[in-house]
Chain A
Amino acid sequence: MALLDIEQLSVSFDTDEGTFPAVSDLSLTLEEGEVLGIVGESGSGKSVTMLAMMGLLPFNARVEASRFHFAGQDMQTLNDRARRRLTGNDIAMIFQEPSTSLNPSFTIGFQLLEAIKAHEGGSRRQRRERGIELLDQVGIPAPGKRLNDYPHQLSGGMNQRVMIAMAIACNPRLLIADEPTTALDVTIQAQILDLLLRLQQERGMGMILITHDMGVVAGAAKRVAVMYAGQLMETGASHDVFREPAHPYTGALLNALPERHPGTARLPTIPGVVPGINDRPQGCLFHPRCAHARQDCRASRPALKAVHAETGLGTRHVRCYHPLNEEVLEIAP
């Protein structure tokens, strides 16, 4: 049984001017202890999808799915209280901006220990010891002293370590990391990423890693999902997807990586921007920016289709009428 099993998830926002779809027809599965990378530009619906999983969307958001199971539990039938028992306990999340994600008015210790108190209880002393142990695990020096510090007294990297300690405090089975290194210095980025992957392996947690750094995904995740404008464009084993991208969007993203163009002054880019929630085009969502778009791409929106790849690491899906590398891929009927 998969740890996370989502089918046809859609998230829309009710506003005064009508209902706007942010994510549509998204299906994902994640096994226990597996790492899934989600990539895509800003505005492609990565964070909204994860917030929907955590139940953290604002009240005007509507989440619908034909199947939304976590560890065998149907998340759609849970009431608020039962849902809260899962969030922060079995599912935890860390965010992009560590320094604004911690409450400036409370000490690190208060914020870390309240998570333990909410889900596991225990005496004040036990919790404190656990807090010190957690800070030590995420590599914070002198953890006993740091418990009494306020977030503004620590650096961004240290704050992100605190966020990680908070997230793993209750031994979650799924950790969602939403661009955990984007706001940090380059030197710190690698440290935080290493820490996350080490903890993931030690604890056998499932992990969803959101990023727009393709290099990070290639190194960390066995499977990858590429999102664009609220839709899943391609999923598959990272190895396959990176070597032979099927969707032109994946191909364009990979083509924009500096390491693929050593010595050139100007990197290739994808022209245009991700369409906003109310200016989504007819047909394939990517066609206005796609170099390979044809008549049928403009006419109707393609469905996600299973394709077969060489390595056979899980199934591979692509949402495109005219995938790249068609000669290597066998399109399923």
Chain B
Amino acid sequence: MLSFVFRKLLMLIPTLLGITLVTFTLVHLIPGDPVAIMAGERGISAERHAQVMAELGLDRPLWEQYLSFLGNLAQGDLGHSLISSNPVLDEFLSLFPATLELGFCAMLLAVSLGIPLGVIAGIKRGSIIDHTVMGTSLTGYSMPIFWWGLLLIIFFSGILGWTPVSGRLSSNYWIETPTGFMLIDTLLSGEPGAFTDALRHLILPTIVLATIPLAVIARMTRSSILEVLGEDYIRTARAKGLSPWRIIAIHALRNAMIPVTTVIGLQIGLLFSGAILTETIFSWPGIGKWLIDAVGRRDYPSLQGGILLIALIVMVVNLIVDLLYGLINPRIRNSR
């Protein structure tokens, strides 16, 4: 088991190297440079431009820049943002809790709703419930996330006025943020009403970000349950005279969860790309919005560092999912 984890961790290294190469190349393929963008519309003289480029080390050949990036990386240094000149890692860590909070709520919603809906649709196959769940999830899956977000804002924030339009907390609250998780911080602050305010801010972004994973999980659970219900061991369970509830909740669900776990793991990776759009729509101060801003400003170190860290997180999550398989599926546990 330990050697399995170790081998998997070792395999992360070449993958991460590949990712640095790809992001480095892509980032520098974007037209324009950070100095020209900082200078704005008025522009600066070519001399001054060249001088700043040299100060930032951006005048060196690309391979040299890449090697020095790798060299720093080996020492745990992701570089400094070109815009704020703060260390990239610090900026990432200060913004990450916002994304984590949103992502966690979205996955919680997707899993806690997607699995039961999929199970019900599977059991009641061909019924109105099944068609409704499957039709809705196909719609949710096909809907562009930014458009869906705008629709929700227009309806719930604009017309009904139930939820705030953007941000994490209304400006009339000013609280300390020791953890970075707004739901926890507002509770710790003891400020009356702050927690519900933070919660209200979370609702729409959570729904938007959860929509696609919810749809995928529900569909996967349904087809998985359908397959499992046709298995011989379900007939055996029925032959024992067990209650239908027990047969589904214990005998079918445990086996049906094996492919669903894979899908959930993959969705966590995709969650980050969803977060970029969602955070932009809702002005959510997280990693997604930060990355979009970095693209706009050609903040090369932030982009390279940010993407590398996200890739690392996604790979670790998938490793954890791999290990979780063993808990659900004894056939894998024993073959390791």
Contacts and interface: CB of A to CB of B under 8 A. Distances in A.
Interface of A: 54, 56, 84-89, 92-93, 95, 97, 100-106, 111, 114-115, 118-119, 150, 152-153, 163, 166
A85 B243 CA distance: 10
30 contacts: A54-B239, A56-B238, A84-B241, A84-B243, A87-B238, A87-B239, A87-B240, A88-B241, A88-B242, A95-B232, A95-B239, A97-B232, A100-B231, A100-B232, A101-B236, A102-B236, A103-B237, A103-B255, A104-B331, A105-B254, A105-B329, A106-B250, A114-B240, A114-B242, A118-B241, A150-B330, A152-B334, A153-B334, A166-B236, A166-B240
Given A85-B241, A115-B241, 10 more contacts: A56-B239, A88-B240, A101-B232, A101-B235, A103-B236, A104-B233, A105-B328, A118-B240, A166-B236, A166-B240
B200 interface: no
B240 A115 contact: yes
Nearest to B333: A150
Contacts of B329: 104-105
Nearest to B236: A101
Contact of B331 (A85, A88, A92, A152): A152
A163 B238 CA distance: 13
A97 B235 CA distance: 12
Give 8 nearest A-B pairs by CB, closest first. Answer: A88-B241, A88-B240, A103-B233, A100-B232, A87-B241, A84-B241, A115-B240, A101-B232
A315 to B, nearest CB: 31
Contacts of A118: 240-242
Nearest to A54: B239
Contacts of A111: 236
A163 B255 CA distance: 19
Interface of B: 231-233, 235-243, 250-251, 254-255, 328-331, 334
Contacts of B237: 103
Nearest to B229: A58
Contacts of B251: 103, 106
A101 B233 contact: yes
Contacts of A88: 239-242
Nearest to A166: B240
A93 B239 contact: yes
Among B231, B238, B241, B255, which residue has the most Cβ atoms of chain A within 10 A?
B241
A95 B236 contact: yes
Contacts of B242: 84, 88, 114, 118
A104 B238 CA distance: 16
Contacts, number: 73
Contact of B254 (A89, A106, A150, A166): A106
B334 A86 contact: no
Contact of B334 (A56, A93, A101, A150): A150
Contacts of A115: 240-241
A54 B239 CA distance: 7
A56 B250 CA distance: 18
Contacts of A56: 235, 238-239
Contacts of B232: 95, 97, 100-101
A146 to B, nearest CB: 14
A92 B235 CA distance: 12
A107 to B, nearest CB: 8
A159 B233 CA distance: 12
Nearest to A92: B239
A84 B244 CA distance: 10
Contacts of A150: 330-331, 334
B240 A152 contact: no
A92 B231 CA distance: 18
Contacts of A114: 240, 242
B288 to A, nearest CB: 37
A67 to B, nearest CB: 23
Given A105-B255, A150-B330, A100 B233 contact: yes
Given A100-B231, A105-B255, A152 B330 contact: yes
Contacts of B236: 95, 101-103, 111, 163, 166
Nearest to B254: A105
A163 B330 CA distance: 19
A223 to B, nearest CB: 24
Nearest to A86: B241
B335 to A, nearest CB: 9
A276 to B, nearest CB: 20
Contact of B255 (A85, A86, A104): A104
A163 B329 CA distance: 21
B285 to A, nearest CB: 43
* Interface core residue of A54, A101, A103, A111 (most chain B CB under 10 Å): A103
A109 B80 CA distance: 59
Nearest to B230: A58
A159 B84 CA distance: 67
B330 A104 contact: yes
Contacts of A97: 232
Given A106-B254, A152-B331, A119 B231 contact: no
A100 B230 CA distance: 11
A88 B246 CA distance: 15
Given A95-B232, A100-B232, A105 B241 contact: no
